[in-house]
Structure 1
Amino acid sequence: MRLVLLLAALCVSGACLGQTPAPTFSDYPAAVRRTGRPVAPKLLPGTAAWYFRTRIREAARQKPNFAGHYVLAAWGCGAECLSSAIIDVETGRVYFDGGSLCCWFSSRLPEKPENFEPIDFRVNSQLVVFTGLLNEEGRNEPHYFAFEGGKLVAVR
């Protein structure tokens, strides 16, 4: 009987299908640190971030909105397409991978759900969720990344 109950509990959680639960923001906590005046972003000519320097400079003036002391900034790169960068407002360092996110309203999401954001993140978490196609390929679904050591690392 216990075995049956255990198997039923696993199936309800998705484990019997080989699925793991989606990561949550609380799974990847970040300490929210008070920062003084934001440091200007360090933008070097010839780098990928240099081409988006106006957007990055504007975003760097904001208070942190991601992973404690970072600003995650996004801007349009075409119809239903976004590029993004992560700016450390304490050091001015810019993390930019040059990737894009697009096509989030497909057969999976035929209508815009209320409060939908293609990039979802929190100031008290290192988790960021990109929903759509990454670099216009792969599966159109949520993609989970943790910001660790200056890089977005896929999780799940």
Structure 2
Amino acid sequence: MRLSAILSFFATAIAIDAQARAQELQCLAPFPKLLSDEAFARYSVKMPSRPSSAHVSDVQIGEAHLYRTVIRRAVKSGPDFAGHYKIVRIGCGAATVCVAIADTLSGKVYFPPEIKATSALLVDTGSANVNTLNYRPNSSLLIVIGLPNEDSSRAGASHYIWRSGKLHLVHYIPAAKLCSLPPSTRF
């Protein structure tokens, strides 16, 4: 009698684990396509013909002055976004990043209000390399996987285009559609 109860317990545990893995796979499926080179190629930008001097001179006032050391250090490695811009990640809490965008040609620093503080979307992405901020040097597309401005109603994947010194939201996929999460999951 005890052996049958133990076997029944393990059979139930294995079935629950299989269901959880199937659900996890549903969440894993969209990330490689979502972050593919083709997605970024749709918003390709012309790379500058001259090398960037990688300087930031506009750190004398406001938020740029407050974060001047981290901005200057980040810009030294050169542009990594939209041709001649540098995404500067400023740590501002556990699983949260504050964002500055520095123009490595003009020295201007932007703090886009759309993503002042972005929290990570805490889901298992398996082997997919998913960051909170996803971008390419030759594309003006920025994909935020998480909660822009820590707004739980915006949890998911937000696609922004960098144009004229501003981020423009062009597409949004809620986390519930992105990962097929159970209704009890809250962000």
Q: TM-score range by the shorter chain?
A: 0.7 to 0.9
- Deviation at residue 48 of structure 1 after TM alignment: 2.0
Following the alignment from structure 2 to structure 1, what is the Cα–Cα distance between the partners of residues 170 and 39? Answer: 11
Residue 62 (str. 1) matches residue 86 (str. 2): no
- Deviation at residue 41 of structure 1 after TM alignment: 3.3
Residue 119 (str. 1) matches residue 133 (str. 2): yes
1:41·1:87 contact (CA, 8 Å) conserved in 2? Answer: no
Amino acid at match of 2:112: D
Partner of 2:55: 39
- Deviation at residue 95 of structure 1 after TM alignment: 1.0
Following the alignment from structure 1 to structure 2, what is the Cα–Cα distance between the partners of residues 130 and 116? Answer: 10
Compared with structure 1, are the counterparts of its residues 133 and 36 closer, same or farther at alpha carbon in structure 2 (3 Å cutoff)? closer
Compared with structure 1, are the counterparts of its residues 113 and 52 closer, same or farther at alpha carbon in structure 2 (3 Å cutoff)? farther
**How many residues end up aligned between the 2 structures?**
131
Q: 1:100 aligns with which of 105, 110, 117?
A: 117
Higher strand share: 1
- Deviation at residue 27 of structure 1 after TM alignment: 1.5
Aligned Cα root-mean-square deviation (Å): 2.0
Q: 2:87 aligns with which of 72, 92, 114?
A: 72
Q: Deviations over 1:85-123 (max 9, x none)?
A: 111111101111351110410xxx2x2533221100000
Compared with structure 1, are the counterparts of its residues 121 and 36 closer, same or farther at alpha carbon in structure 2 (3 Å cutoff)? closer
- Deviation at residue 26 of structure 1 after TM alignment: 1.3
Unpaired runs of at least 5, structure 2: 1-33, 172-187
Secondary structure of the structure 1 residue equivalent to 2:155: strand
Higher helix share: 2
Amino acid at match of 2:119: C
Unpaired runs of at least 5, structure 1: 1-21
State TM-score, norm by structure 1: 0.76
1:41·1:60 contact (CA, 8 Å) conserved in 2? Answer: no
Partner of 1:16: none
